Amino acid sequence: MKRAVHVIVAAVCIALIATGCMRPEPDDGYIAVVNAFMDALIVKDFDTMYHFVSDDSARETPKDVFANRYKNIYGSVEAKNIVVVVDGVDAPKNGSRRVRFTMVMETVAGELTVENFVDVKKDKGGEYLLIWGPHVIFPGLSAERPVRVDKTKSKMGSIYDRDGRLLAGDGEVKAVGIVVEKLDDQHREEDIARIAGLLSMSPEALNEKLDAAWIKEGFVVPVAELTSTDAETKDQLLKIPGVRVDDKKGRVYPYGREFSQEEKYLDILKGTDGRRIVITDASGHVLYTLKDSPAVDGESVTLDISAEEKDS
């Protein structure tokens, strides 16, 4: 009877090993190599990191490409304060074992937490090596998929007087621009002086804008903005060859910027821009969103003054 029991137990053990249900060795070596790899990542020691990459993975991703991917991707998201915790090791499969880990880091979009994995194999010499791919950087990443950081601009708060009149806020402004090649060559110096005078700037400052190296033929060089109350100035500018005045959204000060006292309240008025970290395809279409921090608009302020007092 005892012999029969021993035979059954032996058979069960063999079956467990064959199906991978019984681990042939402890997890320690697999966990240790992942921890060593991540410790090197935290200090940006890419040479040491690459040492833990398997030969097959190294053939697919040369050392310089490997290092540059980490530098460029983690640099673009401004990764810092990286913490990695190994969550577990899966049963053997196809000669390797999957090590699951959680990575937490501070980024330009706030704290990012990702659950990820890396497969680890033990070579003939007994060394544990990572079967590395771009997905180890971020889940869903591949050689053809870049990481991108999108920005959403926050809206600045407005300032009102005690009667609800707008003193500072978003509105429509007149953008003054100049197409350089359309200026009248015979009267250029005279026209520049006239434009500068209408815009309350010096001819030297205006010429500096018009002589910028980035300007190409047909470009409209932005030089100033007018408010909706500057109708007369706009009409005079449009009489000068090469000058354009276009409507656009911008910050307006119906009673003047100084009267709005905006500088005193910038900390309240300014919002926080949103950031979104995404993985895209080669065409730029979003495939995965890793972190999305929406924009937070600034607060508005009501002052205990009246616009009617401005000219009184």
Domain of residue 191 covers: 169-251
For residue 99, pLDDT over 70 is answered with: yes
Q: Do 25 and 74 lie in a common domain? A: yes
Confidence of residue 229 (pLDDT cuts 50, 70, 90): low
Task: Judge whether residue 227 has pLDDT over 80.
Answer: no
The answer to whether residues 221 and 177 touch, using CB atoms and an 8 Å cutoff, is yes
> Over 90: is that where the pLDDT of 10 sits?
no
Question: For 108, which DSSP code?
Answer: T
Please indicate, yes or no, if residue 177 is contained in any of the structural domains. yes
Does 18 map to a domain? Answer: yes
Q: Are residues 129 and 155 in the same domain?
A: no
Quick check: 52 pLDDT over 70?
yes
Residue 199, classed as helix, strand or coil, is: coil
Contact call for residues 219 and 146 (beta carbons, < 8 A): no
Asked if 150 and 28 sit in the same domain, the reply is no
The number of distinct structural domains making up the chain is: 3
The partner residues of 174 in beta bridges, in order of sequence, read 226, 247
What is the model's pLDDT at position 14? 43
Q: Are residues 152 and 240 in the same domain?
A: no
What average pLDDT does the structure give for the chain?
90
Q: How many CA atoms lie within 13 A of 73 on its CB side?
A: 24
Residue 90 · residue 98 · CB < 8 Å: yes
Q: Between residues 247 and 9, which one has the greater pLDDT?
A: 247
Q: Are strands 147-152 and 274-280 parallel, antiparallel or unpaired?
A: antiparallel
Scanning the chain, the segments in alpha helix (DSSP H) are: 2-19, 28-42, 46-51, 55-60, 63-76, 188-198, 203-210, 231-238, 257-260, 266-269
* pLDDT of 18 strictly over 50: no
Q: Same structural domain for residues 235 and 186?
A: yes
Both 155 and 241 in a single domain? no
187 and 41 share one domain: no
Q: What is the pLDDT of residue 13?
A: 43
Q: Is residue 149 scored above 90 in pLDDT?
A: yes
Do both 276 and 158 map to the same domain? Answer: yes
Measured CA to CA, the distance from residue 137 to residue 118 in angstroms comes to: 10
pLDDT digits (tens, 9 = 90+) for 232-268: 999 999 999 999 999 888 898 988 889 999 999 999 9
- Rounded distance between C-alpha atoms, residue 230 and residue 222, angstroms: 17
Q: Give which of 55, 52, 8 is closest to 30, Cα–Cα.
A: 52
pLDDT for res 178: 96
- Predicted pLDDT at 113: 98
* The pair of three-digit structure tokens given for residue 180, joined into one six-digit string: 């350089």
For residues 47-59, give the mean pLDDT.
97
Q: What average pLDDT does the segment 82-102 reach?
A: 96
Between residues 16 and 54, the one the model is more confident about: 54
Q: How far apart are CA 57 and CA 178, in angstroms?
A: 56
